[in-house]
Amino acid sequence: MRYFYFNPISKRCYFPLGFQEYPLFATFYQPYKMSAKVMWKLWQTSAFLRYLFSTDHPEKSLPLELIKQYVSPNSILAFNLGTEGIEQKITILGEDKKTNDSFFIKYATSKTARKNVFNEGIVLNQLAHLSFVPKLQLNVNSDDRFTLIKTTVLRGEKMTYQPINNRILEMLYCFSIQHVNSNRNYDSELISCFAHGDFCPWNMLTNKEDIEVFDWELAGQYPLGYDLFTYIFQFEFLVNGCLRFDELIKQNSTVINSYFKNFNVVDWFPYLQEFSKLKYKLELEKNNEDLIESYFRLKEFAV
């Protein structure tokens, strides 16, 4: 079966022949940077361009035969090979052509990625009572070869960045009262609570007035405010490339104060210090060059 890949250099995303007939696949890749948006638009609208960047042997790059063991024979699949590194995993978006049921799969083979995917599986199983998270359908941990989870697909539009509002704060409060066992626990002398671990707009969908959240592989016990500070700083560092610490804190001082007041914390600066130290440590372990320098500077600023 012919697969088309995007972009032509990285060959990260693979879409099957006939994918345009399924609106679901248009949501699989939604870039934030303008250059990526332009390239994606050209690729979507030009059949000739897609043909130039296609292959009749996708099995050379994709684990097609293995994934087919966990889906129906009528399934049509799109693949994202992920970002290279110790946390790299393959994500798959699929739809059964007969039943129109859609599903999402994460597949990991490296030690770190398998740990993350396994963690997401056990977390989602415990969050099944929440309406805004995907429902776990399958959790496979195959010896030392691979880990795979299969979930339902959340519906909505990818959320663009927006200032933190009461709706987002209520969601953070909801996270904090969940009692979840996971393999990520970063306790400190400060107050800790359950957190998503990567609370950013690209892991969120908007559906009318509701927000839905996916990608729970980093979820666990973190110092209070971890998700709040992640939302404030991560987008700025990765998308805008800005290191405006004073300005960002000033812009968000009202919501920061409101958030910590909910937990009877008056002085929240120690939590910013703890957050910046932990984020720097984690990004350093991943060798994430896009964020190491940013969080190092934030750590120095917080100290």
pLDDT bin (cut points 50, 70, 90) of residue 63 is very high
Residues 110-139: tens digit of each pLDDT: 999 999 999 999 999 999 999 999 999 999
Which of 90, 80, 91 is CA-nearest to residue 7?
A: 80
Query: What is the average per-residue pLDDT within 63-68?
Result: 95
pLDDT bin (cut points 50, 70, 90) of residue 83 is confident
Whether 27 and 72 share a structural domain: yes
Whether 139 and 181 share a structural domain: no
Q: Which of 151, 176, 207 is the last residue of a domain?
A: 151
pLDDT bin (cut points 50, 70, 90) of residue 276 is very high
Q: Which domain holds residue 289?
A: 157-302
Whether 192 and 116 share a structural domain: no
pLDDT bin (cut points 50, 70, 90) of residue 167 is very high
Q: What is the pLDDT of residue 232?
A: 94
Whether 122 and 23 share a structural domain: yes
pLDDT bin (cut points 50, 70, 90) of residue 200 is very high
Whether 147 and 167 share a structural domain: no
Share of the chain above pLDDT 90, in %: 72
Q: Which of 124, 151, 178 is the last residue of a domain?
A: 151
User: Does 30 score more than 80 pLDDT?
Assistant: no
Whether 229 and 251 share a structural domain: yes
Whether 132 and 186 share a structural domain: no
Token pair of 16 as six digits: 């099957």
**DSSP strand pairing (54-55 vs 13-16):** unpaired
Whether 173 and 65 share a structural domain: no
pTM: 0.90
Q: What is the pLDDT of residue 26?
A: 81
pLDDT bin (cut points 50, 70, 90) of residue 9 is confident
Per mean pLDDT, which range of 59-73, 98-112, 230-244 is the poorest? 230-244
| H or E stretch covering 227 | helix 226-235
Whether 205 and 104 share a structural domain: no
Specify the CATH number for the domain of residue 76.
3.30.200.20
d(CA 94, CA 168): 29
d(CA 12, CA 9): 8
Whether 45 and 118 share a structural domain: yes
Whether 24 and 9 share a structural domain: yes
Q: Which of 128, 151, 174 is the last residue of a domain?
A: 151
Whether 165 and 287 share a structural domain: yes
Task: Note whether 77 and 57 are within 8 A (CB).
Answer: no
Residues 212-257: tens digit of each pLDDT: 999 999 999 999 999 999 999 998 888 887 778 889 999 999 999 9
**DSSP strand pairing (146-151 vs 157-158):** unpaired
d(CA 11, CA 24): 20
Question: How many structural domains is the chain composed of?
Answer: 2
